[in-house]
Amino acid sequence: MDSNPNLKLLAEQLTAAAALDRPPHNGMLIDLSGVLSHAARALRAFAAPPSTTDEAALEDHAERVSAEQPAMHAFMLDELLRHLELVAEGLEAGNVLPLRQFLDLYRL
Tell me 62's DSSP state: H
pLDDT at residue 9, rounded to an integer: 86
The tens digit of pLDDT for each residue in 44-101 reads 999 998 898 999 999 999 998 898 899 999 999 999 999 999 999 999 999 999 998 9
Rounded to whole angstroms, what are the CA distances from 37 to 16, 42, 64, 72, 93?
31, 9, 22, 14, 24
Q: What is the pTM of this model?
A: 0.73
pLDDT band at 108; cut points 50, 70, 90: low
Rounded Cα distance, 66 and 1, in Å: 43
